[in-house]
Structure 1
Amino acid sequence: MAIETVKMQQTDQTERLKRIENILCGQDGDDELPEGISLPVQTTEELDMFEDRVTDRIHAKKVVSFLASLGGRNLEQATRNVMANVFTKTIALQYSLCGRRQKKCFETLVTYQLVIRAFRKIIPSSRDEIRKVIGSWLACAGDREGGRKERRNQRNEDKTGDSSDGE
């Protein structure tokens, strides 16, 4: 009888593992955005329209499911997967988590709440852990799409320009 119990537990755990894998791989069956909603948001006008649309509970739920289907093995990877599918670099540069440095506050958006819900479906995490990785992702937006390389090249040009001025 003990062997039968172990076999049933193993079968149950195998099924649970398959469900988790399907969610992490985006195969939970509800990974499509509602009609009229497209991501990533590319302009402030699109963001305003997105914010209006996701006030509808059904749309919000589908967006959360879509974002959660993007998955990630850890919170940092989930952040990259989700946030890169929410905002383009252009929009991300306009926001910080709390609205510092003359930027808009991401926490005040409905989108923020949806992202939090999606993260919690992907990786069990506290709100503070999620806030930290989102804040970091937004703060590093300027480094994406070649931004870090451009800044490094500019610094090198400035250094070479300064040394040639003294000659």
Structure 2
Amino acid sequence: MDSEEDDALQQDSTGLPAAPPVQQFYRPTKEVTLKTISLAEMLTSNHAIWQPEDFSYESPQEPTRSLFPESDVSWNRVQQPPEISASLNSVQPQQTELHKHQRTPQSPTPELIVSLIREMLTKQEMILDQQQSILRILNAKQPQDTDYVIDHGLLPVKDLLALNTLEQKLRAVDFKEKLINHLGLVGGFDTKDTVWRTMHRTISNDLAKSINWRGVNGKISLAALQIKDVVIDAVRKNVFSSTATNSEIENVMKRWLHLASDRDGGRKRRQKE
């Protein structure tokens, strides 16, 4: 009491109101009651094993929240631009159909098999018709064996008389075409080789000595003969010289005529003389 009075006097001296007395509060504790149960009662009865009620604990459960609104608004009904909504509506049925086919594969029906066989047979007949048409075109363009055959001993031309006879026969279109086909079989690995072989098959080297391109110095002009055109067309029959120009072929022909005196040992004879 003395201390309380002293405190009151000190507070009065400071001019402050007196502090209220301190009250002590006691929290009531819940008594834990134990109920003894015998072992026999535990085994024969439905009593559960005792657990302290103060220590029971329930885990808090958070309320589950639905991803969709409770007003039964579906995902497709969410406000979206009309373009996106239309694309979603068109894609979903396609995906459903795709999964349906993947999950439940169906074997082809007999009607489907028959229709496929008919379609294959129709296409096969079309292919056969096209092949026959191509063969007819090729056979029409390809000359027969008789178109290559000429009289024996006609070529190479050995003298002026045989050359004049050949020029007269070349006035006939059929004979000229036959001679072109015949000389076209000579072949060669390039334009020069083909022209060289064709000229050697057409004109003998002795007659070539009296022929030049323009007919100067009293010689025969090859440019004025029909055999010149035959040689040019025959050279183009070869695959390796089919694109050769007239100028390229004529230059080789001129060179072949110019070297006629050097062939068959003519150069060696001149060197000895």
* Matched AA of 1:142: S
How many angstroms apart in 2 are the aligned matches of 1:64 and 1:149? Answer: 35
**Higher RCO (CA-CA < 8 Å; seq separation 6+):** 1
243, 258, 269: which is aligned to 1:139? Answer: 258
> Does the aligned pair in 2 maintain the 1:30–1:66 contact within 8 Å?
no
- Which of these two proteins has the greater Rg computed from alpha carbons? 2
Q: 1:31 to 1:56 in 2, by over 3 A?
A: closer
54, 63, 70: which is aligned to 2:186? Answer: 70
The structure 1 segments of at least 4 consecutive aligned residues displaced by more than 6 Å after TM superposition are none
Q: CA deviation at 1:133?
A: 0.2
Alignment of 1:25-36 (within 5 A): 29=145, 32-35=148-151
More helix by share: 1
How many angstroms apart in 1 are the aligned matches of 2:147 and 2:235? Answer: 15
Partner of 2:188, secondary structure, is coil
Count of residues in correspondence between the two structures: 127
The one-character-per-residue Cα deviations of 1:74-121 (angstroms, maximum 9, x if unpaired) are: 112112210011111121011111223332110100101101111122
* Matched AA of 1:51: E
Identify which range, 143-152 or 93-102, moves more after superposition: 93-102
Alignment of 1:1-167 (within 5 A): 29=145, 32-35=148-151, 38-122=154-238, 123=241, 124-154=243-273
> Does the aligned pair in 1 maintain the 2:196–2:252 contact within 8 Å?
no
Partner of 2:237, secondary structure, is helix
* Matched AA of 2:165: M
Where in structure 1 are there 5+ consecutive unaligned residues? 1-27, 155-167
Alignment correspondent of 1:7? none
How many angstroms apart in 1 are the aligned matches of 2:152 and 2:169? Answer: 8
TM-score normalised over the length of structure 2: 0.44
Partner of 1:59, secondary structure, is helix
TM-score normalised over the length of structure 1: 0.70
